[in-house]
Structure 1
Amino acid sequence: MRKKFSVSICVILSFLMMTSQVWAAPDSSNYPNEPERFSSNRVDKVDKVPEPGQEMRGTYIVSWRQMTSREKIDQFIQEAADANFNTVFVQVRQRGDALYHSSFVSRSELLEGQPDDFDPLAYAIQKGHERGLEVHAWLNAMIAWGSSTEMPKDPNHIFYKEEWLLKDSTGKVAYPDPKTDPKNSVVEGPYFLEPGNLEVQDYLYNVYMEVVEKYDVDGIHFDFIRYPARMGPNTAGVGYGEEAVSRFRQETGLEPKQYSKSWDQWRADQITSIVSRIYKGTKERKADVEVSASVLAAWDLGLGRVFQDWRKWMETGILDFVMPMSYSPSNATVWKDTTDALQVAPPGKVVVGLGAWYFKNNPEGLAQQINILRNEKVRGFVLFAQDTESMAPTVNDYMQQLKQLVMTKQVKVPALPNSQFNVEEKYSMRDPLTVRVGEIDQTTRSFSHRFFVRNGKTSLLVKNEGLGKLTITVTPTLYPGHTFTLDVKGTRDTEVDISRYVNPSDYTSLANHTFLLTVAAEGPPGGKAEIFVEDYYLQ
């Protein structure tokens, strides 16, 4: 299915109105889901794939639901081991706090009432290893706090270091509160730290190194290793902390400007620098500890929307494996997320996150998605999440049913493929960037894809081999769409400038720039076509 194609080097800028369940494993949210990225009957139902001899079978263990007592930890360890899982990702940093014994991070308020000697991470490692499970410490990297009404009780909590908090371009701390401040609802989710602040970078390095040095973890897992997504069409940009802006000016001689290539790249580089430094520090201390990250499944959109350049992380070897978050009830979406990831990362370094809550009373549906992943031969899967919010009637009953469907035998976690350790600063200025967004053939007759038209030029490229006719529909996310039809009879390539559908006088509203592309073949089957989006900055 996957075809090799050349990818030039650049950066995409975009925004997203999406659930944090889609963007990061741990958090529930009231934000609406986005349209599906892909639809096809190709993978509506797949035949059962034989169980591989090795496979990562993981679950996410959420802090406030399961890490707050020894009894709860005992329960989830037993449930996972009895169902032939082999890995648990335990959340030990939620909102700038610690569910472990730290010398400088505030003890989580979730542990109030527990004995002072209770160390959730140490206990989970002990019990998990006794049952043969790998235990990975899952830490929310850039989250500082999650509530606008209840402040941290510990006066030393990082939330009170206001110079460390993410600011928007108006100078305000970026936090969504549509009821009290609708004009300043700039981001999704909680308070973020400022990635461009060097003190923040040092702090996060020390957070991860303390866990690596003190605990016998099998891995450390980045979550929220990114900037936040903007939540509205007219909201201010983020990343404008005083030190961040000062550093950008000193390093580039430029002013931070919305949608500018240099400012976008600089912010992406701050996230990459954090990942690179922590990866190198981890390997220097314990070479066998695996470093992973949950990321937006479409790497190009993640790069543009939240400056999360995980393709570059894989290219430069600063991540052992990546976990695209393919949280969707659609089998076709999971398939496309997975195959998109496999265009830029080898199968042995891809572990796909699946949204178990979409199949709360339906383990058969989740088993279908696991078979899709096995068909693509990725390293494994991780379920969000192993708890009653995602599994019913009980977690144990659900996981036992899943065991009978797709995990009838115990297997080991596969070793990582050999790769060269390389943390040199290498930049992914993809200019222009050509992304293969879909294919029309005998079985796939339609698909959809989101894309962003920047302050530059965006082209739709159709590489046709004998296909009669395609209907291309371009729809702005928040505004009425434009529809046009391409006649691509015979064997020829077609290029259409989509930039014309953006108001060139209005580059302040992201809603004018984010589109949903749908492609549908007309007429009887015959021929095929590949569709690409090419995008680059003019300035």
Structure 2
Amino acid sequence: MRKLLPISVLLFFAVSCSTFKAVPSGTTEFRGIWIASVANIDWPKNGNDGLAKKKKDYLELLSFYKALNFNAAIVQIRTAGDALYPTKLAPWSRYLTGTEGNPPKDTTDILPWLIEQTHAHGMEFHAWLNPYRATMSLDTSTLAPTHDFYRHRNWMVPYGTKFYYNPGLPEVQEHLVSIMEEVVSRYQVDAIHFDDYFYPYTIKDEIFNDSLAYKAHALPNQSLAEWRRSNVDSLLKKVNVRIKNSKPWVHFGISPFGVWKNKTTDTKGSLTEAGQTTYENLFADPLLWDKEGYIDYLIPQLYWSLDNKPASYNILTDWWASNIENINLYIGNGPYKIYNNADKAWDNPLELPKQLNKTRATKRIDGNAFFSAKSLTANKETIVKTLKKKVYKHKALTPALSKLYEVTLPLKIAIKEVKKKDDGYIVEYVSDTDLKQVIYLKKPELTSKNIIGKQYLNPSDSFYVPRNIVKGKKKCYVVFRTKYGQPSQLIPINLTSTHEK
């Protein structure tokens, strides 16, 4: 139940929000939202819902965040050894179909539709897969016969209340890599995304029993901790290679737990007092991934308030910005805590906007992502209004891939023909480069304020300009983006010399 605040406090916050000043955004800024399917957190709301209801609910989420000028949806399509798409590598997810292993009753594959609609709303589709979590409980009676628990029992390690894939087995690594490779090759995803679940969070007096795999596969004199980290590193390296071999423009991103190490255990660590760390407990080393280029972007989960004593958003934002040097860096925020946390800072409607201001004011950071999608859709009107009117007032482009993947600029693009329709124009073009998007501009300059629309390009050599975009003008201006995210030079389109279609 939402906690009710005193009227005097609400009035104070309303005045504060009205006077809040947002740090201006740049032309590019990652604005992502996690859409969690596990336990039906965000979508689908119920696996037994009909297809029409599922589509309606998904479109409502997209429309909500499109109105806030978000540009990326991180959609969970694998939760625990399952899949929200047809594959021989995993059973159908119960969170999509109601019963694990049973196919949907009214569609063969909803994933292409999800991607298509996400693109139609001007957002990238980041396919979020959980690699190591195999089950959500130790009760395996509801698992499908095709689940890896039954097909490969020796891959499973019980720990706490769940089963996990053993990261130290080469056959497990190859299986997980094949899953990611299949998604990239079959679907028009913009990215593959992993969250913070690598080796499980430490549970007191519990043992993750991978001793046999350690004995069989560890290098001489390699400690258990070093070996576990090397297993995670190896998986990421292999996934990255398979992605780039298939579609080099597809991003690979990870959202690790927000504390690498505390300074008390490593002078390079952050001035925090986290009870667990991504390096020592989850055996994940994002600093190495950045150095070696195993991934394209990082979204540390900083789900704490600005001045939280054990782990401060202010301190950790600065720490990550100082320690990630090569890949794109965004920050993960936790609006699910608003009005619903023991930390009273989350009762302030300006906590989240101030966090976004901190991000924008910190060099090296290129945006944010929110967990999770439903967090702002109810009882957060004051905060949503501040985001819409001030923080995300203008549209922005997602950041491009690193310079390793850049193509030579300027691009060779030419407008062939413009065909007039009752409701707009069909523009045919030729290009020497594969293109991802066309950006409509209000004025002949690529700035956040001038972006009035975005359209994802199909493999065809034309795109559509709605009449409301040009509003009777004789000329409009667009910028194309390569599949790697680079913007082209400004392209003017003459709307007076057109043919009727």
Same fold (TM over 0.5): yes
Work out which of the residue numbers 283, 297, 321 in structure 2 matches 1:321.
297
1:381: which partner in 2? 368
Work out which of the residue numbers 302, 316, 323 in structure 2 matches 1:344.
323
2:156: which partner in 1? 165
Note if 1:243 corresponds to 2:201.
no
Structure 1 counterpart of 2:251, which letter? E
Q: 3-state SS of the aligned residue for 1:326? A: coil
Q: 3-state SS of the aligned residue for 2:395? A: coil
Structure 2 counterpart of 1:77, which letter? L
Q: CA deviation at 1:101?
A: 2.0
TM-score, scaled relative to structure 1: 0.60
Task: Name whichever of 320-329 and 96-105 sits farther off.
Answer: 96-105
Q: CA deviation at 1:138?
A: 0.5
Q: CA deviation at 1:343?
A: 2.5
Q: CA deviation at 1:396?
A: 8.0
Flag the structure with more relative contact order, 1 or 2, with Cα contacts below 8 A and sequence separation at least 6: 1
**Following the alignment from structure 2 to structure 1, what is the Cα–Cα distance between the partners of residues 318 and 108?**
43
1:372: which partner in 2? 358
Q: CA deviation at 1:78?
A: 1.1
Work out which of the residue numbers 268, 282, 285 in structure 1 matches 2:246.
285
Task: Name whichever of 357-366 and 284-293 sits farther off.
Answer: 357-366
Note if 1:90 corresponds to 2:75.
yes
Query: Contact conserved, 1:142 with 1:224, CA < 8 A, in 2?
Result: no
Q: CA deviation at 1:147?
A: 1.5
Query: Contact conserved, 1:70 with 1:120, CA < 8 A, in 2?
Result: no
Q: CA deviation at 1:340?
A: 1.4
Query: Contact conserved, 2:22 with 2:390, CA < 8 A, in 1?
Result: no
2:24: which partner in 1? 50
**Following the alignment from structure 1 to structure 2, what is the Cα–Cα distance between the partners of residues 313 and 214?**
26
Structure 1 counterpart of 2:135, which letter? W
Q: 3-state SS of the aligned residue for 1:305? A: coil
Q: CA deviation at 1:174?
A: 1.9
Q: CA deviation at 1:379?
A: 1.1
2:399: which partner in 1? 414
**Following the alignment from structure 2 to structure 1, what is the Cα–Cα distance between the partners of residues 113 and 155?**
32
**Following the alignment from structure 1 to structure 2, what is the Cα–Cα distance between the partners of residues 275 and 247?**
18
**Following the alignment from structure 2 to structure 1, what is the Cα–Cα distance between the partners of residues 108 and 307?**
41
Runs of 5+ consecutive residues of structure 2 not aligned to the other structure: 1-18, 45-53, 99-103, 262-276, 340-346, 407-501
Structure 1 counterpart of 2:288, which letter? K
Structure 2 counterpart of 1:159, which letter? F
**Following the alignment from structure 1 to structure 2, what is the Cα–Cα distance between the partners of residues 348 and 408?**
27
**Following the alignment from structure 1 to structure 2, what is the Cα–Cα distance between the partners of residues 279 and 328?**
30
Q: CA deviation at 1:123?
A: 1.9
Runs of 5+ consecutive residues of structure 1 not aligned to the other structure: 1-44, 167-172, 177-189, 255-260, 422-539
1:507: which partner in 2? none
Note if 1:100 corresponds to 2:85.
yes
Q: 3-state SS of the aligned residue for 2:290? A: helix
TM-score, scaled relative to structure 2: 0.64
Q: CA deviation at 1:49?
A: 1.1
2:463: which partner in 1? none
Query: Contact conserved, 2:196 with 2:257, CA < 8 A, in 1?
Result: no
**Following the alignment from structure 1 to structure 2, what is the Cα–Cα distance between the partners of residues 239 and 207?**
25
Query: Contact conserved, 2:35 with 2:74, CA < 8 A, in 1?
Result: yes
Query: Contact conserved, 1:349 with 1:379, CA < 8 A, in 2?
Result: yes
Query: Contact conserved, 1:92 with 1:100, CA < 8 A, in 2?
Result: yes
CA root-mean-square deviation: 2.5
Structure 1 counterpart of 2:296, which letter? D
1:307: which partner in 2? 283
CA pair 347-196 structure 1, distance change in 2 beyond 3 A: closer
